[in-house]
Structure 1
Amino acid sequence: MDWYLAVLKNYAGFGGRARRKEYWMFALVNIAIYVVLAIVGNLLDTALLTGLYGLAVLVPSLAVGVRRLHDTGRSGWWLLIGLIPLIGGIVLIVFAATEGQPEVNAYGPSPKAIPAAA
């Protein structure tokens, strides 16, 4: 949960780099919350909960995605490849699962060298 909150605290931080753990923990908690809200919304016969939650985490999701791409040495513009049906999503998953560059790159120092967001 700390990784999720760390991403939310860095709400619109598109600069820098994000570790794989930060990105995937945010994604895991995000999906779990979305599923719970979808179930509650289904019981209440409304999609308002999931819609509001989706809007609330849109910018942090984009920001952590951009920072994750920065960690692999890619520009944040690579997120746009996700607009290509099927292939784009697969490419982004591969990029997000790729280990980050251990050395300093154009987007900053390696986040592994910086203490974790514990």
Structure 2
Amino acid sequence: MDFQTAVKTCFQKYATFTGRARRSEFWWFVLAITIASVLISAISDFASIIFSLATIVPSIAVAARRLHDIDKSGWWQLIGFIPVVGWIIVIIWYAKEGSTVANRFGAPEKTVSEFITPE
């Protein structure tokens, strides 16, 4: 998934906490939100607060879907409130390859051929 598609998908699924999200969808969205946040905070603190409030729901939703892709409940993102150790665990989970088979959260976002690395 490319940058534009990932950001578009996350905003289309603004408050969708069901299903699964690929690593690329999650990380491209995180990058887009981070860049936009830095740029907006350079302009105005008030605008930065408004932007943060507007993007908190899709950020939580895509994080929940990302955890679903590795067969974990979206509630596990709350472990991130534990300083340092929780952050490390959550980042490792976000970076982990998704499962190749359907799990309790649905079918995989990737096709089987995308899991095979070219030699």
Q: Do they fold alike, i.e. is TM over 0.5?
A: yes
Deviations 1:24-81 (A, max 9, x none): 000001100001011112xxxxx11110000000100000000000000101110110
Question: Identity, % of aligned pairs?
Answer: 40
Aligned to 2:10: 7
* Aligned mates of 1:92, 1:31 — CA distance in 2: 18
Aligned to 2:59: 61
Runs of 4+ off more than 2 Å: none
TM-score by structure 2 length? 0.88
Out of 67, 72, 75, which is 1:74 matched to?
72
Out of 27, 49, 52, which is 1:51 matched to?
49
Unpaired segments of 5 or more residues in structure 2? Answer: 112-119
Aligned to 1:36: 39
Residue 2 of structure 1: how far off its partner (Å): 2.2
* Aligned mates of 2:5, 2:18 — CA distance in 1: 20
Unpaired segments of 5 or more residues in structure 1? Answer: 42-46, 114-118
Aligned counterparts, 1:20-35, within 5 A: 20-35=23-38
**Superposition CA RMSD, Å:** 0.7
Q: Secondary structure at the match of 1:12?
A: coil
Select the structure with the greater relative contact order (CA < 8 A; seq sep ≥ 6). Answer: 1
Out of 15, 19, 37, which is 1:16 matched to?
19
